[in-house]
Structure 1
Amino acid sequence: MNNLSSLVHLHFDKSANELGDIEKRVLAKAHARKVISTDINAALSAESSFGERMADNIARIGGSWAFITTFLVFLAVWCVVNTIILATGAFDPYPFIFLNLVLSMVAAIQAPIIMMSQNRQAERDRFEAAKDYEVNLKAELEVLSLHQKIDMQVMTEIAALREDIAKLTRKLGD
């Protein structure tokens, strides 16, 4: 942990106690040279309930062109059947009151499901942003670490050059 504390002091301008959970997790992963998993689908699908997955699927289907086209065809067929084909004995004659009832019920059921799916999408976006932050923070830590290694190498080379210059100066003075 002492090595980790020195990393905290080196990379962050605060103590280890002041770091948040994300920073601690990223620093530990960077120290252990582990990759941060960015598989958002696996992480979120593991936590989602059956109802949430069903809401996502219903919203995916309800927002597709296939559904819109099929529903338009259904409405056209309904109107044609009840006005032209069954003109005298139509089960839902022209102002299509039963059709309005069906459409209202579909909208009443579909709206909360779509809102649930949108809430899950917002949660997914927040989770993805947090993962992006972790990856960016780890990349920044790696860049800082590389800078430190390069600086140490340059300092070592400068010290070696100074020593060589000192030796050459002594040889010239002799």
Structure 2
Amino acid sequence: MTDRRVRLDTPRESRRQIVRRPTVDADTFGVFAESFARYMGTAKFLLWMTMFVAAWVLWNVLAPADLRFDEFPFIFLTLMLSLQASYAAPLILLAQNRQEQRDKVVAEQDRQANARAHADMEFLAREVASLRMAVGEVATRDFLRSELRGLLGDIEELSRTEPEDPAQAPPDRVQRPGQ
């Protein structure tokens, strides 16, 4: 005799087969939606659609009554155009959503690139400031020239005012041997 008690802590075995739903690759469908939306935004599509509607209207106005398939007020044409619009609108929205996601990724990459460029500029500004400070402490060529000209002027002035004989020179100007 088998135990037919129901256990609540274990799931029941399924008796029916699970039918798998067909899967659609979202990326492939998105690419199709984008190409469809791109085509619908062209003059070529508008020209073909205009020619189709004009041919439909002309056939149903000019053809003999027994060959017309859409009597006035063109209800079947309206139905077909509504059907086309009901499929076009979601496909266009899907394409716009995918473009928006790409734009977000690009905007984030641009923001990161701008942040890196800003950090690089700040670093370079600090480096330039430190170089300016270091160069400010270094004697430049013009400074050395002006100092040497000043010393040359002092030497010329001293040579003009000093006596020829070192013995007659004042005590602070006397040359000592070995100097």
Show the counterpart of 2:79.
Answer: 101
Which of the numbers 84, 88, 103 marks the counterpart of 1:110?
88
Q: Secondary structure at the match of 2:138?
A: helix
Question: Radius of gyration: which is bigger?
Answer: 2
Note if 1:155 corresponds to 2:147.
no
* Cα deviation, residue 151, structure 1: 1.4
TM-score, reference length from structure 1:
0.61
Rounded Cα–Cα distance in structure 2 between residues aligned with 1:148 and 1:50 = 50
Show the counterpart of 2:102.
Answer: 124
Which of structure 1's runs of 4+ aligned residues deviate more than 4 A? Answer: none
Q: Secondary structure at the match of 1:49?
A: helix
Counting matched residue pairs gives 119
TM-score, reference length from structure 2:
0.59
Show the counterpart of 2:45.
Answer: 67
Indicate the larger mover: 60-69 or 71-80.
60-69
Stretches of structure 2 that go unaligned for 5 or more consecutive residues are 1-25, 152-179
Q: Which amino acid aligns with 1:66?
A: K
Aligned 1:5-154 pairs, distance under 5 A: 49-154=27-132
Stretches of structure 1 that go unaligned for 5 or more consecutive residues are 1-47
Rounded Cα–Cα distance in structure 1 between residues aligned with 2:65 and 2:42 = 33
Q: Secondary structure at the match of 1:155?
A: helix
Deviations 1:72-129 (A, max 9, x none): 1110001001110244420112222221221111111111101101111222222222
Q: Which has the higher contact order (CA 8 A, sep 6+)?
A: 1
* Cα deviation, residue 161, structure 1: 4.0
Rounded Cα–Cα distance in structure 2 between residues aligned with 1:158 and 1:86 = 100
Q: Which amino acid aligns with 2:67?
A: G
* Cα deviation, residue 160, structure 1: 2.8
